[in-house]
Structure 1
């Protein structure tokens, strides 16, 4: 009997899933007087512009980009701006869904946005989005670990992940992981598979990022556990959100979220990591030695380490500070070693469009009397009167106009004058003014001076001064490498590291560190979702 050839079978590959993308990404302090508006944001519209945002090869899919808005951390977003963008996102998603069915939606957010009048901005936005795309579209998000996971956000998203490093060296890696998991899951669900199981555990802990850096323990070891947990059978991803300490909202607290194919494995992983965090709840310490700014400056002056960096942490624009408090500037300008030129010091940077424009009008080498800072966050000492010489100007960076001002001293001492206005300083005083050791950078837009390139645009160097005071919390990688020594000054401002000074009243209590000892979370606190 002749041999027979078995029938040839061909499997038609699945078509790529159809994935929509939108989001509003900002970290917002509710304790700063600054209000974030449309001009603070980089806004991208349409598929091409939004995909250009990602510096990685996106997974194969058919993408429908709607709107993405991103800003430096700031204050609460103006309600009218938010409502306008929300309406645009919803309309765009309805249009995309009408054109062809959507399989997935990537919610590209930070996770700590506050909007005037709302308690849970991301929860409000994802609820509106679900109304546009329906309950069956797979939703994934990739967030900053300083974001918040409310019950509303958790219920509306099928896949949630966040950064595993602070400073955030894995920000793009996290978004790539989140988008990849979304594409894979959306394809599987479209072809008849089940949604992953997911679990949430809230922890009544609310800490500033400067106490939870992964450079130091215990955060370093806690986040180092995550890869092993994700390698367990049935677990796809697990994340630990620190939460956002500078908003006064019920959703602000730590969270653990896990998801995967096995409900038992997912639950066990979430509870295990939650227990590990809880056991370390009293072990979190600041990433650097701390003190008042006066104490930090005393130590910097006495030290042989150069450059000696000091973080003006309470007004860190990278966490939502106004970027113009003058608590540190006033003390630098009054310090005898700096006034006399025996020590060089750099204060970088205060947002002050009025002074910046005046410096541009004067030009490089121009001398003028100005009052710097204190126009947004008006807490004492308010605007600081200075006589300055324009050392450098630049408008090529993200700050808009920027000016490096060399502080001068006159015989009349404008900083102590009864009327420290420009009119109080005569042309003769300006001409005869003597350089001090202080340089201050002012900008037209709020900014965070974290990279050497920003300094170089003004002819400055991260290592070119004896003392560098920067409006930061923990130092970013280039700053950290540049600093011979470093102190974290516990300064006043909208993102004060001393949380008790801020006056939270709407967070859940009890909460560490506001309360000394409280009941431990248990398995009964675990919230489940997803799955078949």
Structure 2
């Protein structure tokens, strides 16, 4: 039986977002647990679609001892404050010192940027290696949008990334990490090969469902895997992180270096052949509503992708909401608008009352609130369990919530931002997404896991927000030379 330490420190950093991510954002719960230390991690993450959950369950089933140290995450947002990174890293270091471990599992995102560090994960690994030495087996789980760096590859024995977007396989990725850890503990050695690609892929076009190019590439990667080359990965990266290392990566592990190199070269050729397929149409709010004009049947999802909290959006922009109200479009629902003050006021007034306060429109420069009055239809405490494939088992805590209506448009309001990717968010407030003709969901791709089956059509809408969908709208300053912005 081996003793395996467990650490989690996750943040997807949108360097273009106007906010800064402080320690409080890691301490508070949202869809996932807040900062948790020691044995409390075991219960806090149990039975969730999280890499840490899958790793712990798999290793314990194999008879190994788990030593939980610290786990935390913060919703995607602007750069992490240096002070927050230092505080959390110091707590991890303090818990790691003196531990007699046979291996260390790290649940990481892979695209954390602080005020001073382009590669926060690489620096975290450097500091941990200073405590444990270079030989302790490190296996890391990475997000689908991780940004690979040489420091990350050099300081781990293996890294495994999610295969799917929507990320329905996060727990499964943890189980893959556990299998790699067990092989390392058994004395196997794996050699890494990797390659950085010279273009950026916008978030809406990274999805793996249907005939999406990323889905075909994931299948191509699986076809290259063997017992001797167990991991071949296409990791599309997070395009809203403006650093010299940004861009997709290909990573493989094999018992023989030449096998890993061959797998990487083969997959890179497949990716390059599909480079032009990573594209799609973006609609302005008015263009989207024009496209729906005159339709009497069918349900349409308008993905408010640029205000996706899962990519650093504030979750409170009102461009799409105001377009619905201005055009007099009924049987529509907008989810989720984050406005804690509005939610508190709604709770103070109670269901059935009317709240005449501005809603949203404060988190993104140039935006403006939607005006009331709004009828309060239902209230909730924001605590519920995710039921869809992406948020499955997640014990959410979004703070006081409300469902309100103005002129035939309903809005789900939360106190903490979270992308609309689970029908449980509707059910918590007594709503059924099937009752609406138009669903406006603040999400880019994750919503597809639980909502796509409800829709006759899905349009990607480019309303104002920090999760920029057309990368040509951004002024990148720090990319390495030769990177193509698509």
Structure-1-length-normalised TM-score:
0.82
Equivalent position to 2:98, from 90, 95, 100: 95
Task: Determine helix, strand or coil for the equivalent of 1:105.
Answer: strand
Give the corresponding residue for 2:390.
none
Deviation digits for residues 354-375 of structure 1 (CA, Å, limit 9, x no counterpart): 1111111111111131111122
Of 423, 427, 437, the residue aligned with 1:452 is 423
1:439 pairs with one of 387, 406, 410: 410
Query: What's the counterpart of residue 304 of structure 2?
Result: 312
Q: Is the 8 A contact 2:41 2:71 kept in 1?
A: no
Q: Is the 8 A contact 2:112 2:118 kept in 1?
A: no
Cα RMSD for the two superposed structures: 1.8
Q: Which whole-Å CA distance do the structure 2 matches of 1:75 and 1:69 have between them?
A: 17
1:471 aligns with 2:451: no
Gaps of 5+ in 1: 1-15, 408-435, 515-532
Partners of 1:497 and 1:165 lie apart in 2 by 19
Q: Distance in 2 between matches of 1:185 and 1:172?
A: 20
Residue 282 (str. 1) matches residue 276 (str. 2): yes
* Matched residue, 1:391: 377
The CA distance in 2 between the partners of 1:372 and 1:21, in whole Å, is 41
- Report the counterpart of residue 220 of structure 2 in structure 1: 225
C-alpha displacement of 1:87: 0.5
What pairs with 1:503-514 in structure 2 (closer than 5 Å)?
Answer: 503-514=475-486
Shift in alpha-carbon separation, 1:201–1:51, aligned structure 2, 3 A: farther
Choose from 228, 248, 253 the match for 1:254: 248
Q: How far apart, in 1, do the equivalents of 2:223 and 2:371 lie?
A: 56
For the residue of structure 2 that corresponds to 1:224, the secondary structure is helix
Tell me how far 1:32 sits from its aligned partner: 1.5
Q: Is the 8 A contact 1:316 1:495 kept in 2?
A: yes
**Separation in structure 2 between the aligned mates of residue 476 and residue 314 of structure 1, nearest angstrom:** 16
The question of 1:212 aligning with 2:197 is answered no
SS in 2 for 1:85: helix
- Please report how far the alpha carbon of residue 28 of structure 1 lies from its aligned counterpart in structure 2 after TM superposition: 2.0
Residues 144, 162 of structure 2: 8 Å contact kept: yes
- Asked if the contact 1:200–1:255 (Cα under 8 Å) also holds between the matched residues in 2, the reply is yes
Write the mapping of 1:64-463 to structure 2, written as runs, cut at 5 A.
64-96=67-99, 100=100, 102-188=101-187, 195-215=189-209, 216-231=211-226, 234-286=228-280, 289-336=281-328, 338=329, 343-380=330-367, 382-397=368-383, 398-407=397-406, 436-463=407-434
Deviations 1:165-224 (A, max 9, x none): 111121111111012211320331xxxx5x311111111121123212111232222110
Distance 1:508 1:304, change over 3 A: farther
Query: Distance in 1 between the 2:74 and 2:301 partners?
Result: 26
- Retained in 2: the 8 A contact 1:305–1:485? no
Deviations 1:80-119 (A, max 9, x none): 22211101111211121xxx2x322111111122222221
Name the residue aligned to 1:63: 66
Q: Which residue of 1 aligns with 2:5?
A: 20
Q: Counterpart of 2:23?
A: 38
